[in-house]
Amino acid sequence: MEKLNIDCLVLIFNELCKDNKSLYSCLLVNKEWCHLVVPILWNNYPSYFINVESREKFFNIIISCLSPSSKQLLFDNNIRLSQTILSKTPTFNYISLCKFFNGEILTCIMRMVFKEEFLIKVDSKKVYLFLREMYKLFISQCKGIKTFVWDTYEPLLSFPGALTFFSQLYSLKINLWFIDSNSLYRMSQICNDLGELIIENCSQDIPGLISLIDAQRNLKIVSLEFKIMDGSCEELGTCEELSKALARRGCTINNLSLHDSVDVIPHSFLTSLVSLKYLGIYYDCESYERNIEFQKYLAISKFPDLQSLEIKDDLLCFKKLAMLIEKTKGNISNIYVETCNESAENTGMLLNAISNHCPRIENLVTYLGPNDLIYVKLLLMNCRNLVCLNLFGLNENSDIGDKLLDILIKFSPKCLIDILISGYWKYSIDVFVNFFESYRGRKFCFNISDVIEYITKEHLNVVKYYFDEGIVTYSNLLNYIKL
């Protein structure tokens, strides 16, 4: 029998990743196959280790890779490891094969090692010692880690192998509760090729963070969470320098997420993000001044290549969003809008902008006012790729329900299979039935939002009938039916 070359075998084994049982059996064929399969298995953790027994075996293998000096240090400090781990020398340098590393894995390993002690009252010195040795293990041995979560006080940059480990990162998530400015500055000297940077718990300018952003050559994805660290306003500062640093990277950043519960960052940097494709704004801060400033820069910004827009803001202005959409090139496929502002205006202006400038849109979540039905008709006529349509009400009872359903019956594209409409609107049974009949021959998901004040037992029976017919695949109204 002619022998397959190594490249062919690797291709076959990578395909078998979808079937881990078959891949495991390949380990036992011969030594060559074993050496080819083991790196693939370790590269694809954690999909293979679902049950507790498999996870514990996996974690024990990781611990067995500790150096003899680390094992001895843990033993001397009364951190009990099994005798098998202490004496066993792994067949492979498994840690060097890892393409993953996060704090969740370490937490699971600690729970296994300390058992009940970890759940009740564990000696903090033991935990810190164990964590330090585990971090040293991964940082010294892993050469291909692309994603890392930095959420520890441990001096990771001082560990052996840190230069190689951190210089190859693509994605870095930083929790500023644990990291000081000097550590961030040192990281900026090592890590210059990040494509993704996620910052949590930011409440003021940090020089080291500014240096880290400035050091990146091709930063594409940025996510920032602004939050007061100790629950008080004493540490609350400003993020003016952070705003300027983001502006300096405006030509490369194409994905931006802002999570804000405090008013700290000026939004002037938005006008510099000329390459933006994905924008997510998730604001819980009700500062009127912050909102006016945010809307000002949103209105004058231009994101011609924008593809996805998600806005959650308690003081949302639909007019400014409409102005933003009108300046795009028609590539938007996803728009999600959420607000608690019951007095919001210009919902129709936003719908009109979407219908005229977003021909490729597939998913739309927004609000519908009592005078906006004409824009729904235009939307359905112009946006024939629409798959998901969610139309919320603004806490106002209205008789537009039947007219809305009639428009959906007449103008919905065939691909529209996920619909949510407001419970603030009234729907007659006859039109309700006609709407579901219009989907006969198709399958779709149907939900009612806000309230179900005008949804009667007859409405519920209609939904149940079309669910039994196989036309409705899911509806939240089914939860109200007593089985």
- Structure confidence by residue, pLDDT tens digits, 286-306: 667 777 888 889 889 999 999
pLDDT (mean) for 340-362: 89
What is the DSSP-derived secondary structure letter of residue 2? P
- Look at residue 481 in the predicted model and tell me its pLDDT: 81
Top-confidence range, 46-60, 445-459, 462-476? 462-476
Decide if pLDDT at 383 tops 70.
Answer: yes
- What end-to-end distance do the CA atoms of the chain give, in Å? 63
CB 291 within 8 A of CB 315: yes
At 3, the pLDDT band (50, 70, 90 cuts) reads low
Q: Please tell me the least confidently modeled range out of 194-198, 318-322, 405-409, 428-432.
A: 318-322
Buried b (16+ CB within 10 A) or exposed e, 412-431: beeebbbbbbbbbbebeeeb
CB 270 within 8 A of CB 224: no
pLDDT (mean) for 406-426: 95
Radius of gyration of the chain (CA): 28
Decide if pLDDT at 377 tops 50.
Answer: yes
Q: Which pair of structure tokens corresponds to residue 421?
A: 């409409």
Q: What's the mean pLDDT when you consider all of the chain?
A: 86
What is the DSSP-derived secondary structure letter of residue 281? E
- Look at residue 48 in the predicted model and tell me its pLDDT: 45
- Structure confidence by residue, pLDDT tens digits, 268-283: 999 999 999 999 999 8
CB 135 within 8 A of CB 154: yes
Decide if pLDDT at 1 tops 50.
Answer: no
pLDDT (mean) for 301-320: 90
Do the strands 444-449 and 418-422 form a parallel or antiparallel pair, or are they unpaired? Answer: parallel
Which residue do the tokens 């039109």 mark? 431
Q: What is the DSSP string of 142-211?
A: -S---EEEE--SS-GGGSTTHHHHHHT-SEEEEETTT--HHHHHHHHHH----SEEEEEEE-S--HHHHH
Decide if pLDDT at 103 tops 80.
Answer: no
Q: What is the DSSP string of 447-460?
A: EEES--TT--HHHH
pLDDT (mean) for 135-158: 90
Do the strands 196-202 and 171-175 form a parallel or antiparallel pair, or are they unpaired? Answer: parallel
CB 222 within 8 A of CB 256: yes
- Look at residue 236 in the predicted model and tell me its pLDDT: 60
AA identity, residue 206: I
Do the strands 278-283 and 255-260 form a parallel or antiparallel pair, or are they unpaired? Answer: parallel
AA identity, residue 180: D
Decide if pLDDT at 189 tops 70.
Answer: yes
Q: Please tell me the least confidently modeled range out of 70-84, 224-238, 308-322.
A: 224-238
- Look at residue 211 in the predicted model and tell me its pLDDT: 98
Q: Which residues contact 22 (CB under 8 A, 6 or more apart)?
A: 16
pLDDT (mean) for 393-406: 86
At 343, the pLDDT band (50, 70, 90 cuts) reads low
- pLDDT over 70, % of the chain: 84
pLDDT (mean) for 64-68: 86
Which residue do the tokens 């009364």 mark? 78
Q: Which residues contact 394 (CB under 8 A, 6 or more apart)?
A: 342, 343, 344, 347, 367, 369, 424
- Euclidean distance between CA atoms 375 and 346, whole angstroms: 12
Element at 465 (helix H, strand E): helix 457-468
- pLDDT over 90, % of the chain: 54
The structure's pTM equals 0.86
Listed residue (336, 349, 257) closest to 299, CA to CA? 349
Q: Which residues contact 392 (CB under 8 A, 6 or more apart)?
A: 365, 366, 367, 368, 420, 422, 449, 450
- Look at residue 366 in the predicted model and tell me its pLDDT: 96
CB 184 within 8 A of CB 210: no
pLDDT (mean) for 173-177: 94
CB 200 within 8 A of CB 175: yes
- Euclidean distance between CA atoms 49 and 44, whole angstroms: 10
- Look at residue 232 in the predicted model and tell me its pLDDT: 46
Q: Which residues contact 11 (CB under 8 A, 6 or more apart)?
A: none
Task: Give the three-state DSSP class for 246.
Answer: helix
- Structure confidence by residue, pLDDT tens digits, 18-56: 666 666 677 667 777 777 777 777 766 654 455 666 777
pLDDT (mean) for 248-263: 90
- Look at residue 432 in the predicted model and tell me its pLDDT: 96
CB 380 within 8 A of CB 413: yes
Residues in the chain: 483
Decide if pLDDT at 321 tops 90.
Answer: yes
Element at 131 (helix H, strand E): helix 124-141
